[in-house]
């Protein structure tokens, strides 16, 4: 494993740790604000987790010659496998086709991977890649602002999703991982490809990392400027949101690379690398466990039923302190359990790569 891959894995591991903590509070009624999504416009640290992962998908495409040499069929196979894993997580444990959600996190990652990988095979020209990403963001802005409004149910993306997948969405009339909003998410992956290619160019490590961080700051500023006309919104994956989240990701990647590249893994980074090396396993396993804890229930004396997750939280964590402290403690223990699984696989050199 190269030093550069260690830095990317550590960044991915931090992203995945945040995902597990955010998705698995002890109770949704007691959450610290950084661990909540913005209600609509605006952003919180939680809103950076998903675009960070997609950005890193793009970076990772450039780190191995297999991406360049891979047959088109192999790219499609990998994308299909990730997509099917997403469908499996969505349907688990009952797999009822009547209300099976079709869009989802892994489904979007699959589509972004396929699009970015095919583009990477086609060209490694940074200007061309940047032009494609910019075209996608401008086109999405134009379509979203000229054909409908920017509300959850009124935007053109939600209308397309209802027409094609009505009854199979996250919400009754819209889905945050819908088809149209995957277009700017593809731009997030392409920008990750650009960052990965930049780190492989000739030049000193210090100059490349400084330039990457400076580009990140510039993207953050551009995202905030565009926010005035096209609000930063994770649910719609707006173009301003892409610029902001990618900018922060570039700064973070430069920081991880500065700390790890050329120096090897550090003790503090090892747990993050462990989580990052089995990111898909972590996502799927944590999703299955969370759903199982909500599915298994026990009958109470009054005839009602309480799910296992509620009982574990109430009897194992609620006494620890304030509701928010107890809720976060549950999430951290959940993360520790997932780390144990990933560490066991890491020690045995078992890595699931879709």
pTM beyond 0.75, yes or no: yes
Residue 6 near residue 263, CB atoms below 8 Å: no
Exposure class string for 182-191: b at 16+ Cβ within 10 A, else e: bbbbbbbbbb
Q: Which residues pair with 298 in a beta bridge?
A: 306
Burial class (CB in 10 A: 0-12, 13-18, 19+), 303: exposed
CA distances from 213 to 17, 216, 230, 252, 254 (A): 23, 5, 24, 8, 6
**Local confidence pLDDT in tens for the 354 residues of the chain:** 344 468 899 999 999 999 999 999 999 999 999 999 999 999 999 999 999 999 999 999 998 765 556 688 889 999 999 999 999 999 999 999 988 999 999 999 999 999 999 999 999 999 999 999 999 999 999 999 999 899 999 999 999 999 999 999 999 999 999 999 999 999 999 999 999 999 999 888 899 999 999 999 999 999 999 999 999 999 999 999 999 999 999 999 999 999 987 665 578 889 999 999 999 999 999 999 999 999 999 988 888 889 999 999 999 999 998 999 999 999 999 999 999 999 999 999 888 776
**Cα dihedral sign, 208-14-276-274:** positive
The phi and psi torsions of 306 (rounded to 5 degrees) equal -120, 135
Listed in order, strand segments (DSSP E) in the chain are 297-299, 305-307
Helix 279-295 crosses helix 308-316 at what angle (to 10 degrees)? 90
> How far is 68 from 162, CA to CA, in rounded Å?
37
- Among residues 15, 54, 18, which one has the least CA distance to residue 36? 18
């Amino acid at each position: 494993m190269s030093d550069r891959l260690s830095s990317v894995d550590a960044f991915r591991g931090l992203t995945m740790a945040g995902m597990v903590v955010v998705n698995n509070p002890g109770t949704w009624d007691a959450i610290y604000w950084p661990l909540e999504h913005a209600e609509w416009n605006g952003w919180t640290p939680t809103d950076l987790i998903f675009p960070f992962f997609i950005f890193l998908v793009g970076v990772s495409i450039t780190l191995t010659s297999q991406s360049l040499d891979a047959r088109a069929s192999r790219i499609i196979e990998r994308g299909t496998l990730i997509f099917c894993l997403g469908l499996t997580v969505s349907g688990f444990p009952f797999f009822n086709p009547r209300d099976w959600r079709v869009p989802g996190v892994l489904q979007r990652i699959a589509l972004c991977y396929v699009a970015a990988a095919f583009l990477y095979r086609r060209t490694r020209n940074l200007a061309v890649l940047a032009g494609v990403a910019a075209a996608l963001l401008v086109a999405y802005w134009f379509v979203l602002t000229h054909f409908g409004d920017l509300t959850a149910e009124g935007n053109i993306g939600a209308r397309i999703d209802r027409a094609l997948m009505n009854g199979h969405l996250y919400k009754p009339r819209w889905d945050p991982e819908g088809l149209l909003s995957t277009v700017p998410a593809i731009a997030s992956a392409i920008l990750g490809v650009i960052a990965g290619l930049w780190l492989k160019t000739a030049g000193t490590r210090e100059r490349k990392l400084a330039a990457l961080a400076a580009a990140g700051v510039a993207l953050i500023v551009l995202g905030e400027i565009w926010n005035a006309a096209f609000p930063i919104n994770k649910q719609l994956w707006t173009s301003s949101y892409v610029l902001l989240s990618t900018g922060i990701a570039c700064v973070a990647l430069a920081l991880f690379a500065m700390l790890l590249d050329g120096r090897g893994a550090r003790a503090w980074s090892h747990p993050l690398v462990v989580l990052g090396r089995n990111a898909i396993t972590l996502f799927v396993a944590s999703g299955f466990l969370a759903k199982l804890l909500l599915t298994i229930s026990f009958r109470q004396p009054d005839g009602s039923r309480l799910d296992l997750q509620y009982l574990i939280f109430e009897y194992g964590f609620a006494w620890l302190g304030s509701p928010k402290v107890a809720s976060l403690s549950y999430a951290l223990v959940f993360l520790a359990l997932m780390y144990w699984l990933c560490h066991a696989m890491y020690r045995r050199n078992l890595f699931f790569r879709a």
